[in-house]
Amino acid sequence: MHTVVVGTSGLTASDVLAVARGGARVELSGEAVAALAAAREIVDALAAKPEPVYGVSTGFGALATRHISQELRAQLQRNIVRSHAAGLGPRVEREVVRALMFLRLKTVCSGHTGVRPEVAQTMADVLNAGITPVVHEYGSLGCSGDLAPLSHCALTLMGEGDAEGPDGTVRPAGELLAEHGIAPVELREKEGLALLNGTDGMLGMLFMALDDLEMLYKSADITAALSLEALLGTDKVLAPELHAIRPHPGQGASAANMLAVLRGSQLTGHHQDDAPRVQDAYSVRCAPQVAGAGRDTLAHARLVAERELASAVDNPVVLPDGRVESNGNFHGAPVAYVLDFLAIAAADLGSIAERRTDRLLDKNRSHGLPPFLADDAGVDSGLMIAQYTQAALVSEMKRLAVPASADSIPSSAMQEDHVSMGWSAARKLRSAVDNLTRIIAVELYAATRAIELREGLTPAPASQSVIEAVRAAGVEGPGPDRFLAPDLAAADAFVRGGGLVAAAEKVTGPLQ
């Protein structure tokens, strides 16, 4: 099994995905253990002094003015975890919780948190045992960290609360730790706070969304090309020299992908035949401009994600010169913004895909295709309601595009009076990514059927590869009406699993 070694820095997006989605094992480097020990010495020295230090010998948040005596500090750290583990709602997905825990471990190992090496090792042991704390949908405002989600993870380290075992069964965390020979941690000064104070949940979901969207943007370029082909459109608008004079990188990449898919098609260029048109509709002609803008948004979001991955997000932080200073690095605004940007871009990509699908089904705009791509229109309804489903998904995506980061609600007796709502932005982005996958699947279903209805004209080799692969995946071609939901589900699984991109790339080579 793949192993990710956690040092004081240097982790990559691939490392996060390997642990979250691939179940990779986690090891602490010698460098990380040394940094943990050095930072802990600083915290222990401050804890022994009579002067109060936030997070070490004081209460938290609006209660930070109280100095806590030494005999109560272990209780203080336990209590912050117990009281903050206050999430409600459905359980969060296993991959999200693993990302959450792994990214918190990453910051702990930076040497800026003051956590003991044995606590970090327990975090790694829990991940490696396949134990997943039960984390709930609601509880994070995206400021002072993803507090409730991280608290539920810390509760598991203490042997309290519930967790899911490697067999998928939810049981008391203490039982699961005991079965795997993991001793519960007894938290000391600073440690409870350090386990809770990070943007780890929203960052983990950002990395997973970037991974999914990279594949979906390629998928959308492919389905846009298939729709252009099915509508007998022109591929001249994809010429590299046209996109070079508006040098947005994403636009050029999307146009190049569409051109690669369409290479060798006998269906393109018929826009001046029986029903002449000067230009194709915007949803066809401007596909690279819309998808390209989304790709550039992805690039910006990836830059922000990589910066956050290189960060040590905690409060207070331990500095190399021995100071323990309070700051606001836990505020999730940088991550929250790009999560919202991605939801906006994804909604627009879904919207333009739905417009192409609608055009394929409308006999007045499809340039010779049967109404709704039906076998016997009137007797058969064809894909009429498949487009309704797609339209409902698009409408939902527009609602999901309303930014969470523009909202804020005060908490902690007005001490935390401006919050990022980054966790909420991440949660709605996950829904948007799911919906975008389904929207692309419906366009794929319509476009492949439409191409097959263009008898006497041969599609591009890449298009033919896609059609053969999607039919092999259980998505049926043209014919009389049938129970449509299984076909759409199969198309969704084909896109979601990367089958669409793989089928096109068998002919085109790697797409951008």
Catalytic residues, which ones? Answer: 54
- Give me the phi and psi of 377, to 5 degrees please: -55, 130
The tokens 């919050």 sit on which residue?
Answer: 419
CB atoms within 10 A of CB 48: 10
Q: Find, among 388, 409, 363, 372, the residue nearest to 485 by Cα.
A: 388
Residues 469, 511: Cα–Cα separation, whole Å = 17
Question: What one-character-per-residue DSSP string does 68-86 give?
Answer: PPHHHHHHHHHHHHHHH--
456 sits in the region (left: phi over 0; alpha: psi -120 to 50; else beta) called left
SS3 labels along 191-229: HHHHCCCCCHHHHHHHHHHHHHHHHHHHHHHHHHHHHHH
CB atoms within 10 A of CB 512: 15
* Residue 352 CB contacts under 8 Å (≥ 6 apart), including other chains: 224, 283, 286, 287, 290, 291
The tokens 């206050």 sit on which residue?
Answer: 86
Residues 470, 491: Cα–Cα separation, whole Å = 7
- Beta strands at 132-133 and 88-91: parallel, antiparallel or unpaired: unpaired
